[in-house]
Amino acid sequence: MEQIAPREAYGKALIKLGDINEKVVVLDADVSKASMTYMFRDSYPERFFNLGISESDIVGTGAGFAIGGKIPFVNAYANFLLGNAWEQIRISVCYANQNVKIIGHNIGASSGKDGPTHLPFEDISLMRVLPNMMVIEPADGIEMAKAVVALAEHKGPAYLRVGRVPTPVVTKGEDVFEIGKANICREGEDVTIIACGVMLSKALSAAEGLSKEGISVEVINLHTIKPLDKDTIMKSVRKTKGVVTAEEHTVIGGLGGAISELLGESYPVPIRMVGVRDRFGLCGTYDELHQLLGLTTENIIGCVKELINLK
């Protein structure tokens, strides 16, 4: 299966965006090689600003650019950016409702051997709780390119989650990407799997494997975690009456949390969450970490079977 690093797709998409929209400016906090914004810098040096290792400052500067009519894409490692500058994002971006795009890099287990300090599994939660904020994690490189364009077209605060490691391409060029509109990737009857990011590819593998055992799984690509596409989710869950969520992120307040909140309030059905369980990562390769944290196709299959057994 073809693989693309989300960050590479992001970097290339920014260059195209820079060409069609001259209001776009790119800010980086000394990680332009990792974030691949150096490609934008090389194409449009006058619209690229390195603010150094100053996450609070870069967010505020982004908000200033937005006041001045620009569309700033603000880049740094997700944990440092959202952790150090959460209050700046809360007030200068979200409360002020400024048109700032917050781009979190090296998400989840991306930085593998760098270990716990560099493995953000909490960023979706941190952004989800903020009013006016939108949260997006594309499934693959192809969807990443579409998300970048959509982000610039949407006026308002948004958070985009960008991974470093090449991941399988599971969407197609012709698939429609609309912010806030979940895509059904595979139709099924017995259980709904809702996934984002790299976990969508694992969800699809799980569905394929389960089909051989006669289990019919519906797979939803929830690239927009906020605002939730309640209609698509509810329609599927009313049919299957069982949900497995999958994310490269803590289940507390992330995609699993969001789905649990929705269904707990409006349509309680059994849920199993695949994701990080209230812990930090370790130093390890990307694959070792996914294994350690249970972010696997096998784990998704096991969760689906648990729900089948409850029926």
Residues labelled catalytic: 55
Using alpha carbons, select from 89, 78, 101 the residue that is nearest to residue 150: 101
Shortest distance in whole angstroms from residue 20 CB to other proteins: 17
What Rg value do the Cα atoms of the chain yield, rounded?
A: 19
Which CB sits closer to other proteins, 47 or 101?
47
- Name the residue nearer to other proteins (CB basis): 131 or 173: 131
Phi, psi of 27, rounded to the nearest 5 degrees: -115, 140
Specify the residue, 96 or 262, whose C-beta has the smaller distance to other proteins: 96
How near is the Cβ of 50 to other proteins at its closest, in Å? 9
CB-CB contact of 207 with 200 (8 Å): no
User: Please, what is the minimum distance in Å from the beta carbon of residue 62 to other proteins?
Assistant: 6
Nearer to other proteins, 8 or 57 (CB): 57
- Positions touching other proteins (CB under 8 A) are 25, 46-47, 49, 51-52, 54, 56-70, 72, 87-88, 90-92, 95-97
Q: Which is nearer to other proteins, 51 or 307 (CB)?
A: 51
Q: How far is the CB of 118 from other proteins (least distance, A)?
A: 21
C-alpha span between 119 and 303 (Å, rounded): 25
Q: Closest distance between other proteins and the C-beta of residue 56, in Å? A: 4
Sheet holding 217-221, edge to edge: 183-186, 217-221, 191-195, 243-250, 271-276
Query: Tokens standing for 306?
Result: 């648990």
Judged by phi (left if over 0) then psi (alpha if -120 to 50, else beta), residue 278 lies in left
CB of 194 to other proteins, least distance (A): 33
Whichever of 22 and 287 has its CB closer to other proteins, that residue is: 22
* 253-283 burial: b if 16+ Cβ within 10 Å, else e: bbbbbbbbebbeeeeebebbbbbbeeeebee
